[in-house]
Chains A and B, each alone.
Chain A
């Protein structure tokens, strides 16, 4: 791979940018992702995972089995927010910041 080879098409991240993270101490796909955005685009690392693993392997000598896979998360393929929403307006785990403001004898604590 050339230094300018695009590893992540969604976010346009080059081989050189991935290599820099490894030379600064990164060891995993997720380290590369957080610093460069490699794999954060719409395809969610479906294209670049193996190429990043290859670069990590070349630079560190770690064998492919020692390089953890990126964490896949819902929804795997982009879906509209309305598909997830249930239109309820009662909340339990999700909070409103203002709800956390407590009044004590009519005054803010």
Chain B
């Protein structure tokens, strides 16, 4: 296997493969993606995969997510069917007192061009007839949706490979050295050299950064999800908490726990998730659950993406974030611009690693 590349991406998940694909569109130099297992064996393969914008805060971060969501229809035309659906997103509330907060959200987001409607009980039930009639209201935005994460990453990989990107999987990086202006990446299957190195290690970013003496403060945050049997199509929207996939399965869950890399599912969270699901959509009571699973989010210390050049290290880049599914088309585009043009079409200074000091 070729050992010299212009660019190496460490991590083939949704962020790393998204970068590799977008690079391969413009860039004819050699690109290699290294993955310690097979892409999707970590966070990217254990997610509900909402493409979610409308109640992320603060507004500048929601705006960043909006630009990425706007790229999805075009992306699926380029790489193939990834089952992207712009369903619109509903975030229900069951307490009338939440309406004021919802209205404040809608007001401040109108200024940046994200249209959020605050729906009455009747409007929610008209949109989503199976929602609990006791719902007080919901925020709604037409920009939200969801995607099939397996299709997405598989299509990123296939399109990238067609454009000449090489993948080396089941190949763990064990050491990174800087010598003669190049990076030498030592892996289980030998050493590779490159000019540009992109760290897209997701939940393992901290460990990969350590190999270069760079602190990438990413922690782990577990989420647990329940999967139902395929049901007839009955949910119209991506509801924050549950969604129905193309094949009829309903995915339910929105939980957060600090559990390191432990991917167990636990009865207490499964039960709480079941309670959330029946509170939102009581008709799910009789639906059968076939599986529970858990995934580990890559959560930067302050909750926001870490993107761009690594200060003090020439030709070293980092992309580490949660919401990788929503953000991958934009991150892929911006990192490509940064490498090829030296600047990005949307400023990413506030996402720089340098903010952690």
B174 contacts A by Cβ under 8 Å: no
Closest to B303 in A: A100
Contact across chains for B45 and A34 when beta carbons are under 8 A apart: yes
Contact across chains for B256 and A95 when beta carbons are under 8 A apart: yes
Contact across chains for A42 and B41 when beta carbons are under 8 A apart: no
Q: How far is the CB of B292 from chain A (nearest CB, A)?
A: 5
Contact across chains for A98 and B269 when beta carbons are under 8 A apart: no
Contact with A along B86-98 (1 / 0, CB 8 A): 0000010110001
Contact across chains for A84 and B270 when beta carbons are under 8 A apart: yes
B58 contacts A by Cβ under 8 Å: yes
Contact across chains for A81 and B150 when beta carbons are under 8 A apart: no
- By size class, the interface of chain B is 35 or more
Contact across chains for A81 and B289 when beta carbons are under 8 A apart: yes
Contact across chains for B276 and A91 when beta carbons are under 8 A apart: yes
Contact across chains for B57 and A96 when beta carbons are under 8 A apart: no
Contact across chains for B274 and A85 when beta carbons are under 8 A apart: yes
Q: How far is the CB of A10 from chain B (nearest CB, A)?
A: 9
Contact across chains for A93 and B257 when beta carbons are under 8 A apart: yes
* Complex interface: chain B residues within 8 A of A95 (CB): 254-256
Contact across chains for B254 and A94 when beta carbons are under 8 A apart: yes
Contact across chains for A86 and B38 when beta carbons are under 8 A apart: no
* Complex interface: chain A residues within 8 A of B40 (CB): 31, 34-35
* Complex interface: chain B residues within 8 A of A4 (CB): none
Neighbour of A103 across the interface among B94, B101, B285, CB < 8 A: B101
* Complex interface: chain B residues within 8 A of A92 (CB): 272
**CA of A107 to CA of B109, assembled, Å:** 11
Q: How far is the CB of A18 from chain B (nearest CB, A)?
A: 14
Neighbour of B91 across the interface among A82, A87, A96, CB < 8 A: A96
Q: How far is the CB of A4 from chain B (nearest CB, A)?
A: 22
Contacting B at CB under 8 A, from A49-93, are 73-75, 78-82, 84-89, 91-93
Q: How far is the CB of B296 from chain A (nearest CB, A)?
A: 14
A30 contacts B by Cβ under 8 Å: yes
Q: Using known A-B contacts A44-B290, A94-B272, determine if residue A81 contacts B254 with beta carbons closer than 8 Å.
A: no
Q: Which residues of B contact A (CB under 8 A)?
A: 38, 40-41, 45, 55, 57-59, 91, 93-94, 98, 101-102, 104-105, 108-109, 139, 150, 154, 157, 167, 169-170, 226, 228-229, 240-241, 253-257, 265, 267-279, 284-293
> Can you list 8 residue pairs at the A/B interface with Cβ under 8 Å?
A25-B169, A31-B38, A35-B40, A80-B288, A97-B55, A97-B254, A98-B139, A98-B240
